A and B are shown apart, each in its own frame.
Chain A
Amino acid sequence: MSLLLLAISAALVNNVVLSQFLGLCPFLGVSKKINTSVGMSGAVIVVITAASAICSAIYHFILAPLNLTYLNTIVFILVIASLVQFMEMFIKKSNPALYQSLGVFLPLITTNCAVLGVALSNVQKNYDIWTSTINGFGTALGFALAILLLASIRERNEDNDVPKSFKGMPHVLLTAGLMSIAFFGWAGVL
């Protein structure tokens, strides 16, 4: 039960994008169409969940016993970069169209701070492997929810008559800000 609560709180209350402001680059960059943002969410869910599990395992079995916790960042980055590489190969093979539309944002999952952020916060909060995986999964779901919501809003607003100075990115940033305020409503829930 507490694991379920953890997942929900990671997805909604402490939403990685809208409350912690991590992973904004793909959030703004790949949210133009629902299709590509679905692909991006899928990739990020897999990468964050796997990265949380593997990083937590490495931390508990190798780094902590050997008093090497100062190597957290570099080892985690290694793991994340390889996972993203693998993800890239997998998508290139299984869905070339998605690979094309994700473009440069696919390898950029490596530098998506949401991924490293989750891995590091798992360690800081001293979660065990299982809890870390659930936390990672919940966080990734939160990312997917945020990017899908933004993509839907952007698709709806596509043809709106926006004043010239607000066209494009300013409009998106304002939308994201309003979404963030809306998500603060979850703060009192848990």
Chain B
Amino acid sequence: MSGIIIAAIVVGATGIGLGFFLTFMGKKFAVEVDEKEEQIRALLPGNNCGACGFPGCDGAAAAIAKGDAAPNICPVGGPAIAEQIGEITGGSAEAAEVKTAFVMCAGTCDKAKDLYEYDGVKSCLAAGSAPGGGAKGCSYGCKGFGDCVAACDFDAIHIVDGIAVVDRDKCVSCGACVKACPQRLIELIPVKRTAAVECNSRDMGKDVLAVCQAGCIGCHMCEKECPIPDGAIHVEKNIAKVDYSKCVGCGKCAAKCPKKVIKMFTVKK
């Protein structure tokens, strides 16, 4: 019996002694973790997508708490979370502009011609090293092997009829597809009433016509039609580009476009 008691005392005393040692050392080597940082980290979505430019949500929380980053840097959380974080930091609760990914190509299988049959690795990046930058006649267009689909954590982009199409309801504008696209065809555009050009071809109009029925031929019609002073759409290097900060989404350019490559978006996300 006494053996058990002694054993219990010895183990207990060792434990208590080490406990005191650790408590003492814990105080001495305490690292101040900002209280705000923990609260902010709890609010962030935690999928560590890196869309904010920081290494994961922990990094973003530390940067926001320090004041190195705005409370609204998380595009995934959106305005609701930005507001809550803004309350914690006491700064402005202004939400970031809500954006969504947009694929600048409308060259579906029936509209854009293939020059030959490609039977290589099913990846846009790999197909790019095939002769002529892949089978598609247009060397700027979407190759449709879905590098962006693989990059998307949110199941918000799919290959439909040979080109990538964004599911705007699911897109959180993390920008993973923008980085994944070897053609640099995907951009983040604001979710608002706006026009967007579904083409990225810098070829001359004649060359575009030869390979795709849905390509911008750089005819400047949209430019002339735009009612905004100085214009919200401009043709540069044979391709029309919308200035999203100016565009009000009147739809005049889309109506006039002879190739119907200007797509109109409404406010609804």
Contact = CB atoms under 8 A, between A and B. Distances in A.
Interface residues on A, range: 10 to 19
Interface in B21-72: 21-22, 25-26, 29-31
Contact of B11 (A67, A71, A82, A85): A71
A74 B10 CA distance: 11
Contacts of B19: 82
Instruction: Say whether chain B's binding surface is mostly helix, strand, loop, or mixed.
Output: helix
A93 B18 CA distance: 20
A79 interface: yes
Interface in A31-63: 58, 62-63
Contact of B29 (A62, A66, A92): A92
A86 B22 contact: yes
Contacts of B29: 89-90, 92-93
Contacts of A68: 3, 6-7, 10
Interface residues on B, range: 10 to 19
A95 to B, nearest CB: 11
B245 interface: no
A86 B29 CA distance: 9
Given A78-B14, A92-B29, A71 B7 contact: yes
Nearest to A94: B29
A120 interface: no
A71 B4 CA distance: 11
Given A85-B22, A86-B21, A92-B29, A62 B10 contact: yes
B132 interface: no
B18 A78 contact: yes
B62 to A, nearest CB: 11
Contacts of B7: 68, 71
Specify which of B10, B14, B15, B21 lies most central, judged by the most chain A CB atoms within 10 Å of its CB.
B14
A78 B11 contact: yes
A180 B145 CA distance: 46
A149 interface: no
A63 B19 CA distance: 19
B10 A63 contact: yes
Interface in A93-145: 93, 96
A153 interface: no
A60 to B, nearest CB: 14
A75 interface: yes
A9 B26 CA distance: 37
Interface string B184-201: 000000000000000000
B89 to A, nearest CB: 22
Specify which of A78, A92, A96 lies most central, judged by the most chain B CB atoms within 10 Å of its CB.
A78
Contacts of A79: 14, 18
B25 A89 contact: yes
Contacts of A67: 3
Interface string A68-91: 100100110011001001100110
Interface string B83-94: 000000000000
A154 to B, nearest CB: 23
Nearest to A58: B14
B10 to A, nearest CB: 6
B21 A82 contact: yes
A89 B6 contact: no
Contacts of A92: 29, 31
8 tightest A-B CB contacts, nearest first: A82-B18, A89-B29, A93-B29, A86-B25, A92-B31, A93-B31, A75-B14, A85-B22
16 contacts: A63-B10, A68-B6, A71-B7, A75-B11, A78-B11, A78-B15, A79-B14, A79-B18, A82-B18, A82-B19, A82-B21, A86-B21, A92-B29, A92-B31, A93-B29, A93-B30
Interface of A: 58, 62-63, 66-68, 71, 74-75, 78-79, 82, 85-86, 89-90, 92-93, 96
Given A63-B10, A79-B14, A85-B22, 18 more contacts: A58-B14, A62-B10, A66-B10, A67-B3, A68-B6, A68-B7, A68-B10, A71-B10, A71-B11, A75-B10, A79-B18, A82-B19, A82-B22, A86-B22, A86-B25, A89-B26, A92-B29, A92-B31
